[in-house]
Structure 1
C-alpha cells in the first residue's frame, strides 16, 4: 500500500464504494460526479494494489481485500471525525488529575475555597498540591506539574501566565520585638536583627538582598524553613524578622502575637500569577480549570 498517496477524500470514497458497491450511488453520497468517483476508485486500486470491487453478473462486489478494508475503514473515519471535532468539555464528567505547585500559605488559606467551588462543578476531578521551589519551572516543562501559582516567569517562551493579583513586602515579628520601639527604623536597624526566610514559593528575597548589598548592608539570615507554621512559631519565641507578602502577614497575625511593620526602604510591589506550559494552552479541560482559579481569585 502506498500511504503517501492516500487522503481523507480517498478514504471517504473507499467507505462509500464498499458500502454501496456502486460507483453511481457512492458518487451521490459524496455529491460527486460519476466520473470523479470512478477516478477515486482507480486511485484506490493503485494505492491498495487490488481491484477492491469487481463486476459479477453485472453487479459490483467487493474482493476479499475489499471486504477486509470495509470492516476497518468505518471506525478509522470515526476516529478522524472525533479528532477533528472534539466534544465540548463537560466539567461534571472530567476525571483528570491536575497538579498545582504553590506555597504552603496559598495551599492552606486560599486554595480550599477556590477548589471547593471547582469541585461543585467537577466532582470527579483529582487535584494534587506540591510546594513551589526552584525546581518547579523544570516540572512545568516536563509536564509533572500542570499549574504554578507564583511570580511571573522570566524569559520563557514556553510558559504562559495570567496575573492573579499584586502584593507588597512587609516585616513580621513578635509584638514585643525591640525593633517596634524605634521611631523611624533605618536600613541598618533592619539588618541589625537576625532574619528568617521561607525557602519554598517564589524567590522574593534575592532582590531585597541585592538592594541591601547596593546600600552596603547585609541581612543575618539565621533561620530557614519550608513552611510558614514553623516560622511563625519561631517568630513568637525569638527576635527574628520575617519579610513576606502583606496578604500573608495579615492572616498570620490572627494566629500569633505578631506585628506587621513596613520595610524601612522602598521596593516595588510584585505580581503573583497562574503559570502553565504552552502544551496545555489550548487543552479544553486545562483551560476550564485555570479559568475557574483565575475567576475565583481575582
Structure 2
C-alpha cells in the first residue's frame, strides 16, 4: 500500500523526461527528442529536483552535467522504462507495415559482410524500414550508442561499457595480403620477411588494429607502417605490384582476385576476435530494434540468404 501511495505522487512522464535529459544533457535537445517545448522540460526538471531532493543536472559550459545521484539513477531508470515499454506494447511491431529509420554504425568490413543480406531481407520482409549507415572509430561507435545517436553498432568491442548489451555474430582471424610476385620462393611468409617489409594499416581516427600491435609488442618486435588508410576500398590496389603487406580480417579478403594477389596466414599467432552487435540496455523493450538485430544475426549465420515464397 505504501508503494502504491508513493507511485500516485509521481507523474511517470517525469521519468521519461529525466531519461531524455540524462541522454542529451541539454534542455533544448531533450525537448526536441520528446517533442515538447523547452519551458515544459525545464519545468519538469524543477519538479524532478524537488521530488528527488537533488539538483540532478547542473550547468556545465553550453550543456548540463549529471550529479552523482543522477548517474546512479541512469541505468536503473533506462532498464525500467524499457520494461514498461515492453509491457505496454507486447505485439506492436509488424515488419511488413512498419515505417522506421535505424541508424547503424559499422566499418567497410562490417558493411560488406552484413549489408547485402540484410538489405535483401528488409526489401523482402520490411520494405518500409530504412537504414542510415555511419562509419566511425570503435570509440566513436560506442559513444554514439551511449548518447542515442546510433541504434546499434557492429564491430569489435573488447571492453563494452556496462550500459551496453551485445550479441556475438562470428569469430574472425587475420590474414595477410601480398602481391603474388613478392612472395618468398617457397610461397610462405616468415616473420623476418614480414618485419622487413613495409605495411598498409587500415585505421579510423587512430583506432587501427591494436590486436596486431599488441601481439608484435609481446614478441618485442615492431613493423613499419608505410601507408595508413581510413577506409578499405583502395587498399588492395596499393598491394598489387608492390612489396607492401596488408594484415586484415580474413573475411575482408574473400572476394579478392588472386590472380596477382596472394592471401597467406600471418607468420605469428594473432588471437582471433569476436565481431558483435552492441546496443544500449535501455533499448531492451524496443521490439523493432530487437527484430533488426535478429535479422542481422540470422543473415550472417545464413550467408545473407532470403527465403523465396
TM-score bucket (shorter structure): 0.5 to 0.7
Q: Distance in 2 between matches of 1:136 and 1:85?
A: 29
Q: Deviations over 1:118-163 (max 9, x none)?
A: 2211111110111141311111101111111111441421111111
1:161-240 equivalence runs, <5 A: 161-177=166-182, 179-181=183-185, 185-200=189-204, 205-240=209-244
- Which of the numbers 267, 274, 277 marks the counterpart of 1:271? 274
**1:93 maps to which residue?**
97
**2:246 maps to which residue?**
242
Q: Deviations over 1:63-93 (max 9, x none)?
A: xxxxxxxxxxxxxxxxx9x983554311122
The structure with the largest alpha-carbon Rg is 1
Gaps of 5+ in 2: 1-6, 12-83, 302-309
Shift of 1:104: 1.2
Q: Distance in 2 between matches of 1:110 and 1:284?
A: 20
Check the 8 A contact 1:152/1:161 in 2, yes or no. no
Secondary structure at 2:184's aligned position in 1?
A: helix
Q: Distance in 2 between matches of 1:188 and 1:213?
A: 15
Which stretch of the first structure deviates more once superposed, 129-138 or 280-289? 129-138
Check the 8 A contact 1:188/1:217 in 2, yes or no. no
Which stretch of the first structure deviates more once superposed, 168-177 or 147-156? 147-156
Q: Distance in 2 between matches of 1:132 and 1:294?
A: 21
Check the 8 A contact 2:203/2:209 in 1, yes or no. no
Check the 8 A contact 1:102/1:201 in 2, yes or no. no
Shift of 1:187: 2.2
Q: Deviations over 1:219-260 (max 9, x none)?
A: 100111122221111111321100011111122236x72101
Shift of 1:174: 1.0
Secondary structure at 2:279's aligned position in 1?
A: strand
Secondary structure at 1:154's aligned position in 2?
A: coil
Sort the Cα spacing of 1:180 and 1:147 in 2 relative to 1 into closer, same or farther, 3 A.
farther
Count of residue correspondences: 223
Check the 8 A contact 2:177/2:245 in 1, yes or no. yes
Q: Distance in 1 between matches of 2:205 and 2:279?
A: 16
CA-based RMSD: 3.0
Check the 8 A contact 2:144/2:150 in 1, yes or no. yes
Q: Distance in 2 between matches of 1:186 and 1:238?
A: 18
